Amino acid sequence: QVQLVESGGGLVQPGGSLRLSCAASGNIFTVNAMGWYRQAPGKERELVAVIISDGSTEYADSVLGRFTISRGNAKNTVYLQMNSLKPEDTAVYYCNLNSRRLPDMRQYNDWGQGTQVTVSS
């Protein structure tokens, strides 16, 4: 089994910053990609940012230049630094892991439990 543990959400004023963390553990053989998605009330879940195994990154247009995804020094850890936050960034943020697991070496897609980010004055 694989577990994803997220932290770092909370309430912040517009223009403020937050950093989300996600740590993956379990029978992971290789990580293909780790990323962050978000879901606002009444809306579909959407990609925020993803970092691929080769280090390349992809961002939603709405967060480009404001958010930065990075890998931590600890194995299978990813961060999302969110700056210049706007009220429209308010959502539940979910960590996503795409990996190959032991022992079957098949590809799996796992989700964290979600962490609430609220941007409000």
Q: What are phi and psi of 96, to 5 degrees?
A: -130, 140
The Cα–Cα gap between 61 and 88 comes to: 13
Q: What are the tens digits of pLDDT across the range 11-62?
A: 999 999 999 999 999 999 999 999 999 999 999 999 999 999 999 999 999 9
The Cα–Cα gap between 51 and 22 comes to: 13
Q: Which residues contact 96 (CB under 8 A, 6 or more apart)?
A: 33, 34, 35, 36, 37, 50, 109, 110, 111, 112
For 73, what's the count of Cα atoms within 13 Å in the CB-facing half-sphere? 0
| pLDDT tops 90 at residue 75 | no
